[in-house]
Amino acid sequence: MIYLDHASATPVSDKVLRAMTPFMTDDFFNPSSAYLPAVRVRDAYENAKNSIANSIGAKGNDLVITSGATEANALAMTVVSKNGKILVLETEHASILENVKKYKFDIIKVDKNGLINLDDLKSKLSDEVELVSVSLANNELGTIQPLAEISRILKESRLDRLKRGITTQLLLHSDSSQGLALLELNIARLGVDLMTLNSAKICGPKGVGALYVGHDVRLTPLTSGGGQERGLRAGTENVAGVIGFATAIEAIRGHSSAARKKYTALVSILKKELEKAKIAPIFLGNAKHQLANFLPVSFPGLDAERLVFKLEEQEVYVSTGAACSASKGEPSHVLRAIGLTDTEIAGSLRLSLGVLNDEENVQQAGKIIRKVVDDEVRRIYG
């Protein structure tokens, strides 16, 4: 098997699994119980939250643990008042674009590489806007957004509002799920008020996420119950999942630079192989503003879904874009937003590298993909 879809899911590491196991067996206690074994579990849970929070320059009490990025994104939206408005990037993940429909919202445009159009952002920052949501790194293109610059623009807008006697909140939220593995995140440097994290993207367990909530940010719970997570997320805590999340975070801390160097080299190998194909590939995005492990590519005139199935026969696993979009059978809104034609969208693959890749299997993958592409070219064009 050669797996080139790490943007969709990652395998739980052995270290993470070992750390989680005791909290599913011997230390199974409910952390809200009063007896000593449960108190120890509570301590382990809180320590794990602190570890996750520290990785982004926050404290454990600043985090709300969720079932994943989708729930965290939905919770972040509740900061908006009844009369407030949200601005979102047109290339955002479906968990943003679907949840934002519950509110008044507007769309921020992107350029041909998927980078935010800052002038469009500025033009749409009306006084009723209370939240701007921009992912740190796009889940289909890997495009890294200039969050610090966006934060600076929002700060200027806040100051302008205050001069005019307007005290409406203006907050910045970022779904940073894709960037967590390869970028060093710091809430102060990025200037975010809310940040979504996802364990499943960094070789941690699925079904565990977190939302960083800045001081003085007021959210509305999505569920009611026992008052866990500062009353913002009711339900017995997923202790094993949070332990696994923290362990996965610790495993990648301090290794971002080395990981970027590794994936840059592997992507270069893969790219060189694909460039030998009979149909000229179009590499999407701009490598200067892209996660190092992403290689989104289009083979215009071919059917990407057919390529995926043909590659599966060779045990090479890739996707046609975000798994959640592909499962609906709908054209990618991300690729549409950057101006690709229907033909280019139809022939687009998302290749994303990770822990299961090395020089040998990436080289082999490139040759297999090139052969499948060439076979399709012969089949269609003779």
Residue 324 is a catalytic residue: yes
Whole-number Å distance between alpha carbons of 333 and 114: 11
Helix (H, G, I), strand (E, B) or coil at 142: coil
Long-range contacts made by residues 217-226, C-beta under 8 angstroms, separation at least 24?
Answer: 217/79, 217/171, 217/193, 218/79, 219/64, 219/75, 219/76, 219/78, 219/79, 220/78, 221/75, 221/78, 222/71, 222/74, 222/75, 222/78, 226/32
Whole-number Å distance between alpha carbons of 168 and 158: 8
The values of phi and psi at residue 79, to 5°, are: -70, -20
| Residues recorded for the chain | 382
Whole-number Å distance between alpha carbons of 247 and 51: 9
Selecting among 282, 324, 355, 356, the annotated active-site residue is 324
Amino acid letter, 78: T
DSSP assignment of 269-325: HHHHHHTTSSS--EE-S-GGGB-TTEEEEE-TTS-HHHHHHHHHHTTEE-BSS-HHH
Q: Residues with Cβ < 8 Å from 297, sequence gap 6 or more?
A: 274, 281, 282, 283, 284, 348, 349, 351
Kindly list the catalytic residues.
324
